[in-house]
Amino acid sequence: MSTHEQKGETYNEALMGFGVEPMRERDLYEVVDIEEASGLNRWGYDAYRRELYTNPNSVMLVARTVATDGFVIGFFAGWVIEDELHVNNVASSPAHRRMGIGEALMSAGIDEARLRCCQFVLLEVRASNEAAQALYRKLGFKSVGRRRDYYRLPTKDALIMKLAL
């Protein structure tokens, strides 16, 4: 049973809207559910929790429905390294795709990068993930390279994309 069903909510409630806010420990089970459903390289609960509490350079955000006790429908995880924001993971739940969640999370991450005086944002994306690449291009990212066999299970190349701020 999904976390959303446990709360007695349906996915239709998400259509009421969402907001982006800092990730909290109480969000982590839902974040891991989305991570697993999205086929991302696994971080898991403990890694996200460590980022929240021990890494001041982390940028950890969630998209949450605006309903009372809203549930997490997407997340963003990144690191500020020197003058760069590196996007590690960004995903929305499969039932909430193509609703602007990924764009809102990326925009919030980019805003945070600007606040932290970053000069650019860098990410890797599966070479086969054309939907994500289209979103990143819409936000101004340019393809600057390729990493062969970067992803595992299945093995796939990654495109390196960069946004100058």
Confidence (pTM): 0.87
pLDDT for the residue 68? 60
The count of structural domains within the chain is: 1
Given this model, what pLDDT does residue 12 score? 43
Give residue 124's domain range: 3-164
61 — alpha (psi -120 to 50), left (phi > 0) or beta? Answer: beta
The set of residues, in sequence order, having a beta carbon less than 8 Å from that of 163 and lying 6+ positions away, is 110, 120, 121, 122, 136, 139, 140, 141, 142
DSSP annotation of 117 reads: T
| Integer Cα distance of 127 and 40 in angstroms | 14
Tell me, what's the pLDDT at 39?
80
* Rounded Cα distance, 50 and 12, in Å: 32
Instruction: List, for the chain, all residue ranges whose pLDDT scores fall below the cut of 50.
Output: 1-15
CA 50 to chain centre: 17
Which candidate, 47, 102, 50, places its Cα nearest to that of 75?
A: 102
- The catalytic residue positions are 124, 136
CATH of residue 27's domain is 3.40.630.30
pLDDT at 65: 92
What's residue 118's pLDDT? 98
